[in-house]
A = this chain, B = another copy of it.
């Protein structure tokens, strides 16, 4: 079922005709399960297939010379977090499973063939990579210009909003299998600060993060605290948000 997952995800932002879908359905793939924290691709590797998240969650990160990680983005079911590998020879960052994850690998040549045959499919996946880029831009701003409370609120708001768009939210809860260390490595803050900021958010009544689960108690509040404006996610308007 990787095809239907991919189609569903692409249709969140792009129009696909029956022929386009048929093209996608003909893609071959290999599925593999990854352990918690296992790398899917590493900085320096030259991928020959694109990864599609079928279950679980994954993260992209840079590895600094000091050994410190910088998480760049998190991805969930339906995302193709290394689509950029299609046209870029060497990975400049790594991709790892957070908790366990099931990944479908679609060979690049297969994809290129469909792109040439059905340009709209290439446009849809291109769009996917462009939304990625806009998420990165927002992360620059978030980590550079916002104090820790707003910064964390913004990340949580983004994750919740994207999960909601992908229908992964149940009762205002999203699985978010991150340790405090990882949260810190995403937001550029020390663990102690992560903990205290988490506490402050909880006491403010907007979100809770515990047991690898994010629970949104007060969306308006959270969005406001994080100065969150979903324009940059380029998702069709979601009702009730």
Contact = CB atoms under 8 A, between A and B. Distances in A.
Interface of A: 44, 60, 62, 64-65, 68, 70, 72, 84, 87-90, 92-93, 115-116, 119, 122-123, 126-127, 129-134, 136-141, 143-145, 187-188, 227, 231-232, 234
A91 to B, nearest CB: 9
Given A62-B137, A115-B119, A143-B144, 8 more contacts: A68-B145, A84-B133, A87-B123, A88-B131, A90-B234, A119-B119, A126-B129, A140-B143
14 contacts: A64-B141, A70-B144, A72-B140, A84-B134, A87-B123, A88-B127, A92-B138, A92-B234, A115-B123, A116-B119, A126-B126, A140-B143, A143-B144, A143-B188
Q: Which of A60, A130, A140 is packed against the most chain B CB atoms within 10 Å?
A: A140
A144 B141 CA distance: 10
Nearest to A143: B144
